[in-house]
Amino acid sequence: MVLSRRPRTAVALTAALALTLTACGGGGSGGGSTPGVTDTDVLIGSTLPLTGNAAPGYSEQGPAAKAMFDYINASGGIHGRKINLKYVDDAYNPANTVTLTKQLVLEDKVFAMVGALGTPTHTKVVDFLNSSRVPDLFVASGCTCWDQPDKNPYTYGWQPDYTVEGKILGDYVAKNFADKKVAYFYQDDDFGADGMKGLDKFIDQSLVVSRQPYQPGNTDVAAQVSAIARSGAEVVVLETIPAYTALFKLTALKLGYNPQLVASSVGADPVTVAGLLENFAKQSGASVKGSDLVEGLVSSAYLPASSNAQNSWIQLFKKVHDTYIPNLPFDGNVIYAMSYAYTFAQVLQAAGKDLTRQGLIDALNKGGFTGPGLVPFRYGPESHAGYTGGQISTIRGGQQVLSGTPLTTDDGDGPVVPYTQPQPAAPANGVPAA
């Protein structure tokens, strides 16, 4: 049969499509009944921004978590299995997150997702992961939304949620800066809203003289900062990502306004903020010493500070850092990722030799995990919330200095209470004990 011209195009088109699509099909698959698990390996996946606006700082988390797993693998792994992390770049675009997460689950057949980053991105795949019964552990975001065990039994948060942190900071402000005028500078989304919900539980509303939002992406915050300056606030609480902590400080500096700053841990890592301060100042033709400008910034910390060389966890993480990722800065992001990687290894250890997805969830719900954190987790059948609080820290000499005892609370109306258990020491070989 002689095909006429046009149908040939159609056939060519179909054939081309079939070829291209089947070429990318196939891929790896687990040998056993549990996806991603063999006798020697366990494959996990993660999505995070390696490129784009959200990449600075956050892009370090993939390599850092992988480095921690490499270190554990070099010591023999967990139950004889090596942990392989495949992290992919979603550029903070939720449409990419959906495609890549489905690729990790359907094509790569990962056993679990670990440390996937971002609220606007990850909220779009929670339904898919839960209906596919894929453990979705330690989402890197402080959204209160990960803690919905009834609706999303496979999703778990990791860091203290923004409301918990807001309560601890609010408690501190109410006690230490009593009767001073307070202003909020906040990211105009769930992060800012959840954080203020916590702050407002403790800070006297008659003292809150200004609330100024910013839109991420719009770097001109002069209007907001001068409004706060005009309000005469002596204390400014920042619910900001690191870039906006730096922008606030620089803009206030130009106005000659120097209030006491209190910031959510999200935007208070001294290394990251100091670096951003110097970069931004350089872009506008000025030169500043970033570490001087962050002096006195109050925040709440739930992990040991990167500068605390006495801490056994920092010693362990520094060793991993120097061996596997010496080119990355040793900052809060690296410690964050190594810490959740360690927690995952702990849960894997607890789940036992016969690894299944349900076994992992059961082990996690049994709870009792302590590790790099200063406070315990809240994991259990009724709660998928991560760390329960933090410890007030102040930046002195460019380093986070902790004060008082760690504090814990919930994201409801519960009080802020001290937590007195000492932090356990890190295992020498980096592998969590059975």
Partner 1 sequence: MTETQAPQREAPRAPLWRRSTLLRHACFAVLGLLGFWLLSIALDPFANLQLAQIAYTAIAVAGLTVLSGLSGQISLGHGAFVAVGAYTAALLLENAEWSLAPVLVVATAGTALVGTLVGVAAARLRGPYLAGATLALAVGLPSLADYHGLRDLLGGANGLIVSPPVPPLSLGETFPLERWQSWICGICLVVVLFLLANLSRSRLGRDMRLVREDEDAAALSGVHVARTQILAFCVSAGCAGLAGGLFAIVNNLAAPGAFTLALSLSLLTAAVLGGLGSLAGAVYGAVIVTLLPNWSTDLAQQADLPRAVYANIPLVLYGLVLILVILAFPGGIQSGVRRIGRLLRRNRKN
Among 84, 123, 264, 306, binds partner 1 (CB under 8 A): 123
Residue 208 φ then ψ, to 5°: -80, 105
For residue 311, the minimal CB distance to partner 1 (Å) is 27
Alpha helices per DSSP H over 256-371: 270-283, 290-293, 312-324, 332-351, 357-366
The site map against partner 1 for 10-39 (x = CB under 8 A) is: xxxxx-xxx-xxx-xx--------------
Q: Please, what sign has the CA dihedral across residues 291, 292, 294, 296?
A: positive
For residue 98, the minimal CB distance to partner 1 (Å) is 5
For residue 426, the minimal CB distance to partner 1 (Å) is 26
Interface with partner 1, residue 256, by CB under 8 A:
no
Q: How far apart are CA 252 and CA 93, in angstroms?
A: 32
Whats the size of the chain, residue-wise?
A: 434
Interface with partner 1, residue 307, by CB under 8 A:
no
Taking the least distance from each CB to partner 1, the nearer of 25 and 256 is 25
Among 107, 234, 295, 410, binds partner 1 (CB under 8 A): 107
For residue 91, the minimal CB distance to partner 1 (Å) is 8
Interface with partner 1, residue 56, by CB under 8 A:
no
For residue 108, the minimal CB distance to partner 1 (Å) is 9
Query: Which 3 state secondary structure label does DSSP give 69?
Result: helix
Interface with partner 1, residue 181, by CB under 8 A:
no
- On whether the CB atoms of residues 363 and 347 are closer than 8 A, the answer is yes
In order of 130, 177, 211, 340, 414, the CA distances from 171 in angstroms are 36, 10, 18, 27, 12
In order of 248, 302, 400, the CA distances from 392 in angstroms are 21, 9, 10
Residues 6+ away with beta carbon under 8 Å from 83: 41, 42, 44, 69, 72, 73, 77, 344, 345, 348
Among 34, 36, 78, 86, binds partner 1 (CB under 8 A): 86
Residues 6+ away with beta carbon under 8 Å from 420: 405
Among 79, 82, 102, 396, binds partner 1 (CB under 8 A): 102
Three-state DSSP string of 163-224: HHHHHHHHHHHHHHCCCCCEEEEEECCHHHHHHHHHHHCCCCHHHEEEEEEECCCCCCCHHH
Among 35, 36, 45, 63, binds partner 1 (CB under 8 A): 63
For residue 241, the minimal CB distance to partner 1 (Å) is 12
Taking the least distance from each CB to partner 1, the nearer of 120 and 427 is 120
The site map against partner 1 for 262-281 (x = CB under 8 A) is: --------------------
Interface with partner 1, residue 428, by CB under 8 A:
no
**DSSP 8-state code for residue 265:** G
Residues of the shown chain interacting with partner 1 in the complex, contacts defined by CB under 8 A: 4-14, 16-18, 20-22, 24-25, 50-51, 55, 59, 63, 86, 88-89, 92-95, 98-99, 102-103, 106-107, 119-121, 123-124, 127-128, 188-190, 215-217
